[in-house]
């Protein structure tokens, strides 16, 4: 795997072990615009890697350091996601500028990079996450067109078989929160809005063909299968 070195000044020291791989899309009109911003000291944002649509991979921050990519975020009780994660930005204009499918050359490069990262750091499959998973009120990326299934088929992350269950909506939400999603949100946030955002984030990741912010029998079955898969250490 060939990596282009493009150092960003936007990082600081870690104070936690690496146990999350966090995937984003750049959400900007071009790869160059994203690289410029991620390397601009005034922007105060960065990522460890950027993967362009042709598969070119840039390293902006060494993994031993804490890059600034997650923002205000939460997963399973952890709030400083930057301290715990490696961040990969994947070039795509995003929902604001003409969201489109991720080319196979790009997905192959993401897979190669991600496999190397999770192997070296021992990151559990259940902790390969999208930005929307950890910040559902604010973020949609990498979004419903990102091929999580392809990654999971090739050993990165999880993709469950649905397991039908008789959960109520309340039980589904309880288990969604136990899995890691934020169901409380920041102080003062409207409870229903927080719950809907978390369900939508789950849908974007694990049932992208039919997005929903409300629980339904299929989403419940998907979560039930995911919980079993994660518990098995798959």
- Catalytic machinery residues: 89
Using the Cα atoms of residue 10, residue 16, residue 18 and residue 19 in order, give the sign of their dihedral: negative
Report yes or no: 51 and 59 within 8 Å, Cβ to Cβ.
Answer: no
Give the list of residues 6+ apart from residue 119 with CB closer than 8 angstroms, or none. Answer: none
Parallel, antiparallel or unpaired: strands 20-25 and 128-130: parallel
Question: How many CA atoms, within 13 angstroms, populate the side-chain half-sphere of residue 76?
Answer: 9
Phi-psi bin for 128: left (phi > 0), alpha (psi -120 to 50), beta? beta
Burial grade of 79 (CB within 10 A; 0-12, 13-18, 19 or more): middle
Three-state DSSP string of 25-41: ECCCCCHHHHHHHHCCC
- SS3 breakdown of the chain: % helix, strand, coil, rounded to 5? 40, 15, 50
Distance CA 66, CA 85 (A): 8
């Amino acid at each position: 795997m060939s990596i282009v070195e493009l150092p960003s000044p936007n990082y600081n020291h870690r104070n936690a072990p690496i146990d999350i791989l966090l995937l984003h899309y750049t959400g900007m009109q071009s790869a160059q615009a994203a690289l410029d911003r991620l390397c601009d000291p005034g922007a105060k944002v960065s990522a460890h890697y950027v993967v362009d649509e042709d598969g070119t991979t840039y390293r902006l921050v060494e993994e031993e350091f804490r890059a600034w990519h997650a923002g205000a975020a939460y997963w399973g009780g952890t709030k400083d996601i930057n301290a715990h994660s490696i961040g990969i930005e994947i070039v795509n204009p995003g929902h604001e500028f003409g969201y489109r499918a991720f080319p196979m050359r790009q997905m192959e490069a993401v897979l190669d990079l991600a496999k190397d990262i999770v192997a070296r750091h021992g990151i559990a499959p259940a902790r390969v996450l999208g930005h929307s998973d950890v910040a559902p009120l604010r973020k949609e990326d990498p979004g419903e067109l990102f091929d999580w299934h392809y990654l999971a088929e090739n050993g990165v992350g999880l993709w469950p078989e649905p397991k039908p269950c008789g959960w109520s909506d309340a039980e589904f939400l309880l288990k969604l929160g136990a899995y890691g999603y934020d169901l409380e949100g920041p102080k003062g946030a409207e409870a229903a809005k927080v719950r809907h955002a978390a369900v939508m984030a789950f849908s974007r990741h694990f049932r992208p063909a039919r997005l929903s912010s409300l629980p339904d029998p299929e989403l419940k079955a998907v979560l039930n299968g995911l919980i079993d898969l994660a518990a098995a250490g798959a």
